[in-house]
Structure 1
Amino acid sequence: MQDYMMIHQDEKITLRDLAEAAMYSPWHALRAFSELIGKTPFEYLREIRLSTAAIKLRDTNMRILNIAIEASFDSHEGFTKAFTRAFAISPYDYRQCTPPIKLFTYYPIRHYYKTLMKGAEKMSSAVIFTQIIERPERILILKRGIEAKHYFDYCEEVGCDIWGILESIKGALYESIGVWLPESMRKPGTSEYCQAVEMPMNFNGVIPDGFEKITVPKCQYMLFHGEPFQDEDFNDAILTVQNAIKQYNPERYGWKWAPEAGPRFQLSPIGKRGYMEALPVEPIK
């Protein structure tokens, strides 16, 4: 049902459509979705549509009425009320100043159950590509946790909706990332792992409440890129790459790990492109 809504969000969707996608009766489909996700299918669908509309307001010159219609609203007024209720700012005001807002974050419920299996099924073999990339001096906007060392610990401490706020920040250099901060970039009583977005040095926009910005120096990275995978196998794909990293010796190729040069980071695991993780390195002199 989640996948169906993501694919068909621009179309009219009925409970019967969702029930057929789930191969349940409408009553069972509604009950299962509401219990597992914590909101009704149509509350969930509205979050998807409003967040898509926010991106269009931020990044295009489309008329607000046209954006409202594409989001399946019958009127400018109805769209404005719903948008303001969701994000505490009107569509017009959002377009003018684009402050950080909490966008919808797609998190398939099947991932949760796959995680409960604790990676019982591992990919037996895989091809991992490596390359050297460079990040310029930049600003990192992040929200720290408390003791988190990995993503799921971080979600328990901070919540899983941080990504949506980071993705809403205008002018990012790259997509949002999960980062493991080196000791020099941590604060006492805060976590090693957190989520962040990289911004240019001249960024002067709004910092979301509870977030902060730090300056990260120019740094070279060894990027590890795994093979494409089925979405439900995301946990296995991450473990495969991370196991490859543990066994990798960069000195064979003229590099050495430089853990204090910058944060280690991971990109969101997306099946069609494969999982990617990068560690700071420096050339051996």
Structure 2
Amino acid sequence: MERWELVDAVQRMQDYINDNINSPITLSQLAKAAGYSQWHCARIFKELIGKTPFEYIRALRLSKAALLLRDNQIKVIDVAFDFVFDSHEGFTRAFIKQFGVSPKRYSDSPEPIQLFMPYRIRDYYLTLHKGEMKMSEKKATSTVFVQVVERPARKLILKRGIKATHYFEYCEEVGCDIWGMLCSIKEAMYEPVGMWLPDNMIKPGTSKYVQGVEIPQDYAGKIPEGFEIIELPPCKMMVFQGEPYDDEKFEEAIEDLWEVMKKYNPQIYGFDWADDEAPRFQLAPEGYRGYIEARPVRELNK
């Protein structure tokens, strides 16, 4: 149980950092949030996260600053002060060191960069040690919202794995930092997703599960190194959205929705599955909105 106490302490530090990212943060404040000494907090944070608290804070601030510069007409100096940098020069040096481009150049011409998009440490350890923590019993019933949406002809920037059939295998093969690069693509039509490709979109020797982001057909921007771009035809997607859930129970939320999808008969509503026409995709699990997954469908009368 001691290990989980440390995980929870680091999670409290992560939560404190997220809530106060635009204010000065001291090790004393993090220690108070975690309930341990400053020395112990610094040690367990580095052990579990792989960065010191201040390396983590700086990388997170720079990534959030990059998104502001990408999406808004805003002065570099204003962004620097918003994220607690003392000067334009200090912010510029840190930004170049993190992303290899100056903030002014990035603001003028945003290209994909490797943003720092950390996972909640407690979610990560719950996944590694599934079943060790006592979970509350599942609800007898749950509500799933279902709708059909149109996807236009578009392109997909993706990174393939080798043999991965799901997210965790993909992380082992490719790494868990792909999301940051995908989130930095300004022209994205929707948020990044994990995808199960139809057989006709899988290259020999590559994985069924990939991560990517959809972009307009006329996209002329940079393709990040190691990624590729493919065409996606117009299609219909049946979107399933579960109830909001506690973040730490994301695996249960996914499994619950999969059970619903497994038994769901789209023919009742005039559709059939069309898994050969488009990738099935999942959005990043976010407890406040419920787990969301979509599967391609076609109308039965067509």
Give the TM interval when normalised to the shorter protein. over 0.9
Q: Where do residues 53-132 of structure 1 align in structure 2 (5 Å cutoff)?
A: 53-118=65-130, 121=135, 123-124=138-139, 125-132=141-148
> With structure 1 as the length reference, what TM-score do the two structures score?
0.97
Alignment partners' CA distance in 2, 1:21 and 1:280 = 45
What residue is the counterpart of 1:41 in the other structure? Answer: 53
Q: Which amino acid aligns with 2:138?
A: M
Name the SS for the 2:150 alignment partner: strand
Q: Which amino acid aligns with 1:204?
A: A
What residue is the counterpart of 2:207 in the other structure? Answer: 191
Of 150, 173, 177, which aligns to 2:193?
Answer: 177
Taking only aligned residues, the RMSD between alpha carbons, in angstroms, comes to: 1.1
Name the SS for the 1:156 alignment partner: helix
Of 165, 181, 201, which aligns to 1:149?
Answer: 165
Q: Where do residues 200-239 of structure 1 align in structure 2 (5 Å cutoff)?
A: 200-239=216-255
Name the SS for the 2:126 alignment partner: helix
Q: Which amino acid aligns with 1:215?
A: E
Alignment partners' CA distance in 2, 1:105 and 1:239 = 24
Name the SS for the 1:45 alignment partner: helix
Alignment partners' CA distance in 1, 2:71 and 2:265 = 42
Please state how far the C-alpha of 1:118 moved relative to its aligned partner. Answer: 3.0
What residue is the counterpart of 2:180 in the other structure? Answer: 164
Q: Which amino acid aligns with 1:126?
A: S
Alignment partners' CA distance in 2, 1:119 and 1:195 = 27
User: Tell me, which stretches of 5 or more residues in structure 1 are unaligned?
Assistant: none
What residue is the counterpart of 1:23 in the other structure? Answer: 35
What residue is the counterpart of 1:12 in the other structure? Answer: 24
Of 253, 273, 278, which aligns to 2:269?
Answer: 253
Please state how far the C-alpha of 1:116 moved relative to its aligned partner. Answer: 2.7
What residue is the counterpart of 1:272 in the other structure? Answer: 288
Alignment partners' CA distance in 1, 2:70 and 2:129 = 39
Alignment partners' CA distance in 1, 2:128 and 2:159 = 26
Please state how far the C-alpha of 1:119 moved relative to its aligned partner. Answer: 5.6
Structure 1 outlier segments of 4+, above 6 Å: none
Aligned-residue sequence identity (percent) comes to 54
Please state how far the C-alpha of 1:102 moved relative to its aligned partner. Answer: 0.5
Please state how far the C-alpha of 1:218 moved relative to its aligned partner. Answer: 0.4
CA contact (8 A) 1:119 1:236 kept: no
What residue is the counterpart of 1:281 in the other structure? Answer: 297
Alignment partners' CA distance in 2, 1:259 and 1:61 = 41
> With structure 2 as the length reference, what TM-score do the two structures score?
0.92
CA contact (8 A) 1:119 1:235 kept: no
Alignment partners' CA distance in 2, 1:38 and 1:123 = 34
Please state how far the C-alpha of 1:146 moved relative to its aligned partner. Answer: 0.4
Q: Which amino acid aligns with 1:241?
A: L
CA contact (8 A) 1:148 1:157 kept: yes
CA contact (8 A) 1:123 1:237 kept: no
Range that drifts further, 273-282 or 124-133: 124-133
What does the per-residue CA deviation read over 1:176-220, in whole Å, with 9 as the maximum and x for residues that have no partner? 111110001110000000110000011000000000000000010
Q: Which amino acid aligns with 1:270?
A: E
User: Tell me, which stretches of 5 or more residues in structure 2 are unaligned?
Assistant: 1-12
Q: CA 1:9/1:52 → structure 2, altered by over 3 Å: closer, same or farther? A: same
Name the SS for the 1:73 alignment partner: coil
Alignment partners' CA distance in 1, 2:159 and 2:225 = 9
Name the SS for the 2:25 alignment partner: coil
Alignment partners' CA distance in 1, 2:196 and 2:276 = 11
